[in-house]
Amino acid sequence: MVEMVHLLQDRICEAISDIDETNYREDEWTREEGGGGRSRVFSEGKVFEKAGVNVSVVYGTLRPEAAEKMGGGHQLEGNDLDFFATGISLVLHPNNPMAPTVHANYRYFERGSGEIEGSWWFGGGADLTPSYLFEEDAIHFHKVHKEACDRHSIADYRHFKEWCDSYFHIPHRNEGRGVGGIFFDDMHGSTKLECFEFVEDCANQFLAAYLPILERRKDLPYTSNQKAWQQMRRGRYVEFNLVYDRGTKFGLTTNGRIESILMSLPLTARWEYCHEVEVGTEEERLLKVLQEPVNWLGV
Amino acid sequence: MVEMVHLLQDRICEAISDIDETNYREDEWTREEGGGGRSRVFSEGKVFEKAGVNVSVVYGTLRPEAAEKMGGGHQLEGNDLDFFATGISLVLHPNNPMAPTVHANYRYFERGSGEIEGSWWFGGGADLTPSYLFEEDAIHFHKVHKEACDRHSIADYRHFKEWCDSYFHIPHRNEGRGVGGIFFDDMHGSTKLECFEFVEDCANQFLAAYLPILERRKDLPYTSNQKAWQQMRRGRYVEFNLVYDRGTKFGLTTNGRIESILMSLPLTARWEYCHEVEVGTEEERLLKVLQEPVNWLGV
């Protein structure tokens, strides 16, 4: 898993570099309590306002409140707070409001020795957050992930799709964060290898799922009003990440590297009081889909 | 208290209207479970990017998780979840990065009948959040509030000043949100009248505390870099309000009016990855003060 996430970080960053015609800033960091990570962030490039791809390998002893937040490990004997965690996490925010923001995260956790049933698990997923809805983009993104799921008996696209819709929900807005994708956690199927093979396959589909969408949208014309709408949608992204996201909360309570945790936030965001969309507009069309999740593949 | 907060809302909104050369949008709203409020928000005026002044009078039955978050009411017999709450809450975000953001909130809470000791309490305070530090502004703001405290035997400026510094602290940044002011909660002194008289006096000092500062700063020249720094400071404001603020959390779990709760958020905010201030700059001077609270009045 450690090797896989590092290789994938290289591959994704190379692809972004090519498209963005810029290079990332890299920070290698260590965590006082054990382990560290490698953060790479692109800023204000040709295509991306901000794009962060982070890998980490951390271990040590959990504080009980962090242990509670992390899920999994239900069948641990005693109160073992030792942990090991590794993963890749990325959020890409394009400049063009027609091009969607994308997030992906694949992770492995272990509590105690990581040998007994329930003491290790995988989690992950990928989801798409457009400011303007192009149905073919949502369908393509879901299709690539469904195909990855279909190749592995432990993965269930329908279940993971619904899990994604319910995880990336903003209750106080009664909206989803985006048009979904897949989300899974506490995955501990029959063997570690079986789980790892699914996670690796899925993670390796990231570029195939996102790049065709980006290519289609990154150079479309747009107005300043459409840019302002994108900024407001980014405000919602901030609301979800700071108020609800489990990974962010986990990071804020485990003395994680703050700039890596918050690299998911967009460069810019906007909050207009009581903003309302007009009937029959593209903005309204997006909101309807966020308020009532769509079964994109009809399965 | 209900009358006081409404009169004060009128007086403050009139003052903002004059300075901003614009008018507010007013929304009267009701809460399904009981009560409601009156929100007034100025947007993109001559002086303010966004300025919200909200009053509310709400009552009903608390959900237990909300009761836990609200504090106070420690000596209630049984598990009485009936409550009554009223208050004024305002946040003003000026356009000019030399002019500080200001927040004030004065509130009264009651649990059960509100008759017995510990079943009613006042809370409140006001605090200043500059992007650029003008020491005389911080001193003036603190001085006006100290004078109000000094007129009432139940109020202790030093205590309330420290409480403000510790409440408006952003642990994950190791920074205060601003240069402080006063903060108090669970105030239930000897009589309700005594508490109310202090809260009323203090709330009525808001304009005297803030307007002279605004007048000095609102027309100062500034650069686009200084504007970008203000946007980043607004990002911190968003972080505090969404992650830590008790009022925001209370609102999000009590089915409050979402636009009124989040009207405290700035119109625009910015997150630059790993932004660092240069040594010897005004930006660094501000950060030092946020990292180590200053005893502005030397008391």
Which residue in B171, B269, B274 is closest to A259 by CB distance? B274
Which structure tokens are listed for B292?
Answer: 């180590």
Which of A59-73, A249-263, B80-94, B130-144 is most confident? B130-144
Q: How far is B257 from chain A (nearest CA, A)?
A: 9
Q: Do A269 and B272 touch (CB under 8 A)?
A: no
Tell me how far apart the alpha carbons of residues B181 and B117 are, in angstroms, rounded to a whole number: 28
Kindly determine whether residue A274 and residue B172, on different chains, have CB atoms separated by under 8 Å: no
- Report the pLDDT value the prediction gives residue A251, as an integer from 0 to 100: 81
Q: What is the mean pLDDT of residues B80-92?
A: 93
Of A73-82, A131-140, B186-195, give the lowest mean pLDDT range. Answer: A73-82
Give the model's confidence band at B73: pLDDT under 50 very low, under 70 low, under 90 confident, else very high.
low
ipTM rounded to 2 decimals: 0.94
Question: Does A73 score more than 90 pLDDT?
Answer: no
Give just the sign of the alpha carbon dihedral A263, A269, A273, A278: negative
How many C-beta atoms surround the C-beta of residue B230 within 10 A? 28
pTM metric for this prediction:
0.95
Chains A, B: CB pairs < 8 Å: 79
pLDDT at A88 over 70: yes
Identify the band that residue B84 occupies on the pLDDT scale cut at 50, 70 and 90.
very high
The residue among B95, B98, B64 whose CA lies nearest residue B79 is B64
Please report the pLDDT score of residue B69 as a whole number: 61
- Taking the Cβ of residue B231 and every Cβ of chain A, the question of whether any pair is shorter than 8 Å is answered with yes
Asked if A268 contacts A234 with a C-beta cutoff of 8 angstroms, the reply is yes
Give the one of A242, A266, A273 whose C-beta lies nearest to B242's C-beta: A242
The catalytic site residues of A sit at: 103
| Residue among A267, A268, A273 minimizing CB distance to B43 | A273
Residue of B41, B231, B252 with shortest CB distance to A273: B41
* CA–CA gap between residue B257 and residue A113 (Å, rounded): 48
At residue B77, does pLDDT exceed 60? Answer: no
Residue range A99-116: mean pLDDT, rounded: 92
* Interface contact A272, partner B, CB < 8 A: yes
Distances (CA, A) of A252 to A54, A249, A262, B93, B169: 16, 5, 9, 27, 14
Q: Which residue has the tokens 């700059």?
A: B281
Residues B105-138: pLDDT tens digits?
Answer: 999 999 988 888 888 999 999 999 999 999 999 9
B254 within 8 A of B66, measured Cβ to Cβ: yes
Subunit contact A239:B239, Cβ cutoff 8 A = no
pLDDT tens digits, A2-61: 999 999 999 999 999 999 999 999 999 998 889 999 999 999 999 999 999 999 999 988
Cα of A27 to nearest chain B Cα, Å: 10
Interchain pair B239, A235: CB under 8 A: no
Q: Which residues contact B184 (CB under 8 A, 6 or more apart)?
A: B122, B123, B124, B125, B155, B159, B160, B163
How many beta carbons lie within 10 A of that of residue B265, not counting itself? Answer: 26
Looking up tokens 């964060």 gives A177
pLDDT of residue A75: 54
Closest CA to A132 of A64, A197, A179, A71: A179
Dihedrals φ, ψ of B42, to 5°? -100, 135
> Comparing A99-103, A107-111, B88-92, B102-106, which segment has the lowest mean pLDDT?
A107-111
Q: Is there a contact between A274 and B262 if contact means CB atoms under 8 Å apart?
A: no
Q: Binning pLDDT at 50, 70 and 90, where does residue A63 land?
A: confident
Tokens of A82: 């030792």
A23 contact B CB<8A: no
Q: How far apart are CA A188 and CA A208, in angstroms?
A: 26
A268 touches chain B (CB under 8 A): yes
Predicted local confidence at residue A249, as pLDDT: 85
Calculate Rg over the CA atoms of chain B: 19
**Chain B residues whose beta carbon lies within 8 Å of the beta carbon of residue A263:** 273
- Asked if residue A68 has pLDDT above 80, the reply is no
The secondary structure element, H or E, covering residue B105 is strand B101-111
Are A25 and B239 an interchain contact pair (Cβ–Cβ within 8 Å)? no
% chain A with pLDDT above 90: 83
* H/E stretch holding A61: strand A48-61
User: What value does the mean pLDDT of chain A take?
Assistant: 93
Looking at residue B196, what is its pLDDT? 97
Q: How far apart are the CA of A299 and the nearest CA of chain B, in angstroms?
A: 34
Per-residue pLDDT at A261 = 93
Smallest CA–CA distance, residue A161 to chain B, in Å, is 26
Contacts of B52 in chain A (CB under 8 A): 273
Predicted local confidence at residue B113, as pLDDT: 80
Q: A55: buried, middle or exposed (CB in 10 Å: 19+, 13-18, 0-12)?
A: buried
Predicted pLDDT at B106: 98
Helix spans in chain B (H): 2-20, 64-70, 135-150, 157-167, 192-204, 206-217, 224-243, 246-253, 258-261, 282-291
B273, B275, B276: best to mutate for the A interface, most A CBs within 10 A: B273
Q: Are B46 and B58 in contact (CB under 8 A)?
A: no
Q: What is the mean pLDDT of residues B42-48?
A: 97
Contact of A93 with chain B, judged by CB distance below 8 Å, is answered with no
pLDDT tens digits for range B13-43:
999 999 999 999 999 999 888 999 999 999 9
Catalytic residue among B103, B140, B142, B188: B103
Q: Helix/strand/coil (H, E, C) string of B10-39?
A: HHHHHHHHHHHCCCCEEEEEECCCCEEEEE
Q: Does residue B26 sit at the A interface (CB-CB below 8 Å)?
A: no
The pLDDT > 70 percentage for chain B reads 95
Structure confidence by residue, pLDDT tens digits, A231-286: 999 999 999 999 999 889 878 876 778 999 999 999 999 999 999 999 999 999 99
For residue A187, give the 3-state DSSP assignment.
Answer: strand
What is the C-alpha end-to-end distance of chain B, expressed in Å?
A: 31
Distances (CA, A) of A199 to A53, A153, A158, A189: 17, 12, 16, 12
CA separation, residue A8 to residues A2, A14, A201 (Å): 10, 10, 11
First-to-last C-alpha distance (Å) of chain A: 31
Of the candidates A242, A247, A270, which has an alpha carbon nearest to the alpha carbon of residue A89? Answer: A247
pLDDT, position B67: 73
Angstrom distance (rounded) from CA B51 to CA B210: 13
The arithmetic mean of pLDDT across residues A96-116, rounded, is 93
Q: Which domains does chain B have, with CATH numbers?
A: 2-291 (3.40.1500.10)
Chain A residues lying within 8 Å of B263, measured CB to CB? 273
